[in-house]
Structure 1
Amino acid sequence: MLPKVKQLLFIQVASSDEEEAAIEYKSRVEDEDEGELLIDVPIIEGTGKYKRLFLGDELSLYFVSGEGVKHYFNSHVLGFKEEVVKLIRIRKPELSAITSVQRRSFLRVEAELEIAVKMSAHVRFIGMTDDVGGGGISFLCDGRWPVKAGQELDCWLLIPYRNGSLEHAQFKAEIVRVKATETGRNQIMAKFVTISDLERQKIIRFCFERQLDYRKN
C-alpha cells in the first residue's frame, strides 16, 4: 500500500552525523501529485522543534497501516511549495519499493575522492572524502583551515566512474560537525544545501557503482 493524504509519516534524515541521523521526526501527507508527495515540515514530537530540509536530502520513512503494520520506504526532497504553510515535495515511492522491513540505504559509500573547497574569496583548499552520498559528504582537510559547524562551503567533487570517465559535481554544503583527528587533520561532516538534480545524480551514480563493486567482492 502507498501512503495516503493525511497519513502520518515518521522520518529520519540522512546525515554524516550519526546522532542527527538517528533522530525521528513526524510529518503528515497533505497532498499528492504525479510522482510526488507534499508533506508538512517534519517536527520532533513533544518538543515543537522543526527540521529544516534541503533540496536533495535523503529520507528514510515509514507509515503505519490500520492493522498496525509499519511500511518503510526511502525518498528524497524534490523541492518546496508555499501554501498557507510551507510544504515539502518528496519523491513518491513505487509500490514495489515499500517493505515491512526497514532498509536505511541512503546510498552513502566509503570513497576517497578529491574535493576542492572554497570558504571565501581568499580561502580555498583541497580535501579528500572518506564517504559520500546523495545527501551529504564527509571529508578530511588540513587542521589549519578555520572550519566550524554552520559554515557554508562551495565545493567541487571529482568523480571517477567505472568506464574511466571523470565528472565534477558542484554544490554548496553546510558543515554539520567538525572532528579533530590524531593526525592533525579535521574531519568535516557536511550536508548539501544547494545542489541541482543533475549534480546530485552524478554522485548517486558513483554510489551505485561503488555498491555494485562491494557486492562483487
Structure 2
Amino acid sequence: MLPKVSDLVYLQVASSDEYEANREYKSRIAEMDDNNLYIEIPLDEKTGRYKPLHFGDELSVYFVAEGGIKNYFNSYVCGFRDEVVRMVAIKMPAEESITKIQRRNYLRVAAELEMAVKLMDQVRFIALTEDVSGGGLSFRCDGKWHLKPGQEISCWLLLHYRNGSVEHSHFHAEAVRVKALENGKQQVMMKFSKISDTEQQKIIRYCFERQFEIRKH
C-alpha cells in the first residue's frame, strides 16, 4: 500500500548526531507523481520548529493506514518545489519495500544484541538476544539462572542504528516460555509487560532498519 495525497507522514533524518537522529518530525503529502512524494516542510511538534531538509538527506518514514497499521519505508530528499508553499520532494518507495507493522503484530527480526538482565532478587547478568520485535524478544543465557515462565525481568537492551548512534531501551518483561538447551544454556522467550512508547519506538525503529539491511543481502 502506497501513501496518498493528504496523508500525514512521520520521519527521522539520518545523522551522526545522536540527539538529531532521534527527533521525529511530522509532515503531510501535498502532491505526488510516479517518482516522488512532495511533502510540506516537516515540523517538530515538541518544539514547534520547522526542520529544514537538504538535498540527499536520508529519511526513515512511516504513515498510518486504517486499523492503526504503521507503514515504514526509507527514502531521501531529491529536490524542492517553490509554489504557494515550499515543498520537499522525496523519492517514492517501491510498494514491496514498505514494511507494515500492526499494533499487535510486530515485525520480528533475527538479531544478536547485548542485553543487561536484572531479576527481581537483584541477580544481574548479560545475555544475547536471538530475535527482537516491538512486542517482545527471545534470548539465550546460562542455565544456572533457572528462569521460569511467568517470571518478571527488568532489561536494558543495547541498540545499534545504521547511522552509528547507540541507544539503550529499558523495559520490564514476562518470561512466556523457557527451553533447556543441550549445552547447559536456556532459551527464554518473553513479552514486554511494561515499556514506554518512547522505549518501544526505539526497538521498532531498530527492527525496521535491521529488516532493511537483511533485504539488501
TM-score by length of 2: 0.53
How far the C-alpha of 1:189 sits from its partner, in A, is 0.2
Kindly indicate whether residue 210 of structure 2 is the aligned counterpart of residue 210 of structure 1. Answer: yes
List gaps (5 residues or longer) in structure 1: 1-90, 98-102
Q: Sort the Cα spacing of 1:158 and 1:121 in 2 relative to 1 into closer, same or farther, 3 A.
A: same
Q: Sort the Cα spacing of 1:96 and 1:120 in 2 relative to 1 into closer, same or farther, 3 A.
A: closer
Kindly indicate whether residue 62 of structure 2 is the aligned counterpart of residue 93 of structure 1. Answer: no
Partner of 1:131: 131
Q: Distance in 2 between matches of 1:163 and 1:206?
A: 11
Larger Rg: 2
Percent identity over paired residues? 58
Q: Distance in 2 between matches of 1:164 and 1:144?
A: 35
Tell me how many residue pairs correspond in the alignment: 123
1:136-163 C-alpha deviation (Å, 9 max, x unpaired): 0000011100210000000000000011
1:25-80 C-alpha deviation (Å, 9 max, x unpaired): xxxxxxxxxxxxxxxxxxxxxxxxxxxxxxxxxxxxxxxxxxxxxxxxxxxxxxxx
Q: Sort the Cα spacing of 1:140 and 1:93 in 2 relative to 1 into closer, same or farther, 3 A.
A: same
Q: Sort the Cα spacing of 1:96 and 1:147 in 2 relative to 1 into closer, same or farther, 3 A.
A: closer
Q: Distance in 1 between matches of 2:69 and 2:118?
A: 42
Q: Distance in 1 between matches of 2:67 and 2:182?
A: 43
Q: Residues 18-57 of structure 1: matches in 2 within 5 Å?
A: none
Q: Residues 65-214 of structure 1: matches in 2 within 5 Å?
A: 93=67, 106-214=106-214
Q: Sort the Cα spacing of 1:188 and 1:94 in 2 relative to 1 into closer, same or farther, 3 A.
A: closer
Q: Distance in 1 between matches of 2:197 and 2:174?
A: 18
TM-score by length of 1: 0.53
Q: Distance in 1 between matches of 2:174 and 2:70?
A: 34
RMSD, aligned α-carbons: 2.5
Q: Sort the Cα spacing of 1:92 and 1:193 in 2 relative to 1 into closer, same or farther, 3 A.
A: farther
Letter of the aligned partner of 1:176 in structure 2? V
How far the C-alpha of 1:122 sits from its partner, in A, is 2.9
What secondary structure, in the 3-state scheme, does the structure 2 residue paired with 1:93 have? Answer: helix
Structure 1 runs of 4+ with >3 Å offset? 94-97
Q: Is the 8 A contact 2:120 2:152 kept in 1?
A: no
Partner of 1:18: none
List gaps (5 residues or longer) in structure 2: 1-64, 72-100
Q: Distance in 1 between matches of 2:70 and 2:139?
A: 35
Q: Sort the Cα spacing of 1:94 and 1:143 in 2 relative to 1 into closer, same or farther, 3 A.
A: closer
What secondary structure, in the 3-state scheme, does the structure 1 residue paired with 2:67 have? Answer: coil
